[in-house]
Structure 1
Amino acid sequence: MTTTEARRLPGTLITIDGPGGVGKSTTTARVIELLTATGATVHGTTQPSRTPLGELIRHGTDTYRGLALANLCAGDRLHQLAAEILPALADSRIVVSDRYVPSSLVLQGLDGLTFDTVWHLNDSVYRPDLAVILNADPDVIAHRLHSRGAHSRFERTTDSSTHESLGYHRAATYLRERGWPVTTLDTTTAHPYEIADQIVDLIRPPAPTYPIDGITEENPACP
């Protein structure tokens, strides 16, 4: 059990990860928009954070590598949890994070670190209520990535889309084995808004039906 697992907070933490070009940021923004439209109190965030440390990481992947970068990312995440995410969860908000631990497993894995090493740096983080991992055919996301341009050295490496896609498949299995509620969604042919609809359905399951004089949705009054 991680240190934060002893006390679950009343809010809901949703994390969304996936390879560059998979539609993650567009999907995340749409999920926040849809949940807000229902009247829910939603807090959107991103990792790395928008703090000075987070911006250093975001723009410093050409400078920092391997275990040094992994430690920076873990430190930024733990600070963001304490200063931003956990207070929002304590306030019963739905927190939707663009990237979380799965991205560290994959990207630091591309730097040669094992999943176990990255997990050891992050095993005290708050477990999400739903960890969504988006993935797609590597050729499709490679084309999307080329169209929008690379955001980091990870996305500029040869066959980055193939390596990231495989990494996220492995990360999903690795985290499920550690008790994380992981859902994987394929965005190869689906628009980000369609994927966002699916995620919102997972967050807000349909209300149960109650029979009225023997009539339910499964037993309608009229054929």
Structure 2
Amino acid sequence: MTSGCFVTLDGPGGVGKSTTLNAVCESLRRAGTPVRATTEPSTSALGQFTRAHADQIKGHALACLVAADRYEHIRDEIRPQLDRGNTVVCDRYLASTLVVQQLDGVPEQFLLDLNADILLPDLAVILTADASAIRQRLSQRGAHHRFERDPDVPAREAALYRRAERTVLGLGVPVLVIDTTNTTPSATAERIASELRALTGNVASGPTDPAAAP
């Protein structure tokens, strides 16, 4: 059985990751690709605990929780789905760790060491947008966690995501950066799907697996 393709979707809060993830999965399904959408922190008990306490647990302790959830996520969901031949699209992964945990004062090298044995994606997508557009979107939808309540974070995030791009590239992972300031989620999704086809040569080439679910 051919292993599926693993795609990660990262970017600042308010950049449109969730909407884009749904559009990417729909685009791939229309083309006949079996897709599994997932997220981090995961929906496991550990992931739910991490998400629920991310405003109270900080720094190195939170970084360790995020990494522990990631290893469990890989073992219990990501790798089994890939082994079935499904494409997995994950909302937040390593690039987000390299940004969010550094905003929390954790050094990059500690984060890389903590994530040294994770499954690397076939494609890492980083969504960006103008800081003013991000602030406006966050104001409209409301903040989801403590970092989004800090008005200085969007500019700091932008710089850290540029650094994360270089770091992930250095790990041998192809990185696609898309500015979503003036781009619709559907256009962004089609660009990602096109990049996947160019990278793998087999995305959207097989029959849909009815067991694959969002």
Structure 2 length-normalised TM: 0.89
Aligned-partner SS, 1:22: coil
Partner residue, 1:123: 116
1:42 paired with 2:35, answer yes
CA contact 2:135–2:151 (8 Å) conserved in 1: no
Partner residue, 1:86: 79
Partner residue, 1:4: none
Following the alignment from structure 2 to structure 1, what is the Cα–Cα distance between the partners of residues 180 and 162? 14
Following the alignment from structure 2 to structure 1, what is the Cα–Cα distance between the partners of residues 131 and 162? 12
Give the residue type in structure 2 aligned to 1:99: R
Partner residue, 2:151: 158
Give the residue type in structure 1 aligned to 2:106: L
Partner residue, 2:160: 167
Higher helix proportion (structure 1 or 2):
2
Following the alignment from structure 2 to structure 1, what is the Cα–Cα distance between the partners of residues 61 and 27? 37
Query: Which structure carries more relative contact order (alpha carbon 8 Å, separation 6+)?
Result: 2
Q: CA deviation at 1:205?
A: 3.1
Greater radius of gyration (CA): 1
1:141 paired with 2:134, answer yes
Paired positions, count: 199
Give the residue type in structure 1 aligned to 2:172: G
Following the alignment from structure 1 to structure 2, what is the Cα–Cα distance between the partners of residues 185 and 158? 23
1:72-126 deviations in whole A, cap 9, x for unaligned? 0000000010011001111111000011111111000001111111111111111
Partner residue, 1:219: none
Aligned-partner SS, 1:185: strand
Choose from 5, 10, 14 the match for 1:12.
Answer: 5
Partner residue, 1:220: none
Give the residue type in structure 2 aligned to 1:89: L
Following the alignment from structure 1 to structure 2, what is the Cα–Cα distance between the partners of residues 177 and 39? 32
1:182-212 deviations in whole A, cap 9, x for unaligned? 11111111111111111011112398xxxxx
The runs of at least 4 consecutive aligned structure 1 residues that moved more than 4 Å come to: none
1:136-171 deviations in whole A, cap 9, x for unaligned? 111111111111110001111231211112211110
Give the residue type in structure 1 aligned to 2:161: Y
Choose from 152, 163, 185 the match for 1:192.
Answer: 185
Partner residue, 1:71: 64
1:62 paired with 2:55, answer yes
1:103 paired with 2:96, answer yes
Q: CA deviation at 1:23?
A: 0.7
Q: CA deviation at 1:10?
A: 1.5
Identity of aligned residues (%): 44
Partner residue, 2:174: 181
Following the alignment from structure 2 to structure 1, what is the Cα–Cα distance between the partners of residues 135 and 194? 28
Contiguous gaps of at least 5 residues in structure 1: 1-8, 208-223
